[in-house]
Structure 1
């Protein structure tokens, strides 16, 4: 059963992470699914990736891929993008692989990385081996030093209604379930980890997984 807990009021849902084999493939696929255009993002020099963005109302969607023009990073790429099993999965189609919760600060967190792109500055929890917490079902944490993208992305009529977290151990996710920015986060038992988002779009309700 979904937990009816309420996250602390200082937590907010920052963004969803959709990964793809190439940014152009992902852009075409997502725009066809949602009926709207993605917005320019940028490059992440530390991890050799690049992205596109989309407002989800109080949060946003990040479409991310390995940047073929970037040098190989010194550390493993975030979101398990270096792993053969992830690359094989993304070769089939883009997938919703993760979500990120914004917190006021991450000072002293052992996995916090200080990052920047252009005028944006933030800290994000990233495991040294690039692995996803809880296989992707538990969130990474972000603390923005500058306004988050959700505040400046244009409203394109897409809202995140619900995020469903499936895991063999849903009790470990109960801490993160509840209502964030008007979005319901629920957890349920399943043999394997997966995420599914229900979006309200100009094309009606769309589910991403």
Structure 2
């Protein structure tokens, strides 16, 4: 039985408007509003892409004070253009899996958005582990799984392709506790590509 499951993909942007436009061009849909993250000085928009999976567009929140620590997902220096920057897997036992993560994943911290509570791995410098190729690990509070509360807009993740110069090592490290035929990890120049079935057909998001 897998000890971790796919949770969501992360579209990093300098602002939500550009991030939403990027997803809209790629998928032909508008991502609904999410909320704010007080600890990190960020805000997001969220869209369900499966019964237990979602897409997140996230950016620095211009109305929030600067956080006391580096922002997650490398958002202290957001990309010049919005992009699929990262992916997140979830577990029901952070304490058991965290020791198996590479040091680049960072410690597990507590985070909130409205009434939601979770633990999530965040490097001390806020950088993306392996440039975004190695997933962040999250544990939602018991009884909460955000996509189950999101409207179904007819979008479903069918494939997530990850490439990294150390792709074979990343895949080997994840294999003992993550099994998902949609996720393909290989060796090559860093890239993340999601294929998503939409009301407009299967689209690619990068």
TM exceeds 0.5?
yes
Q: Cα distance, 1:179 vs. partner? A: 4.4
Q: Is the 8 A contact 1:170 1:187 kept in 2?
A: yes
SS of the residue corresponding to residue 98 of structure 1 reads strand
Q: Is the 8 A contact 2:6 2:89 kept in 1?
A: yes
How far, CA to CA, are the matches of 1:196 and 1:179 in structure 2?
18
TM alignment of 1:22-33, pairs within 5 A: 22-33=15-26
How far, CA to CA, are the matches of 2:179 and 2:137 in structure 1?
17
Q: 1:10 aligns with which of 3, 14, 30?
A: 3
| Cα RMSD (Å) | 1.7
TM alignment of 1:133-148, pairs within 5 A: 133-146=129-142, 147-148=144-145
Q: 2:183 aligns with which of 176, 182, 185?
A: 185
The answer to whether 1:48 aligns with 2:46 is no
Aligned to 2:160: 163
Aligned to 1:97: 85
Q: Is the 8 A contact 2:5 2:179 kept in 1?
A: no
Unaligned stretches of 5+ residues in structure 1: 1-7
Q: Is the 8 A contact 1:176 1:185 kept in 2?
A: no
Aligned to 2:101: none
Aligned to 1:65: 59
Unaligned stretches of 5+ residues in structure 2: 99-105
Deviations 1:29-50 (A, max 9, x none): 3123212221121111111100
SS of the residue corresponding to residue 107 of structure 1 reads helix
Q: Is the 8 A contact 2:42 2:61 kept in 1?
A: yes
Aligned to 2:118: 122
Q: Cα distance, 1:12 vs. partner? A: 1.2
How far, CA to CA, are the matches of 1:186 and 1:136 in structure 2?
14
The alignment covers a number of residue pairs equal to 193
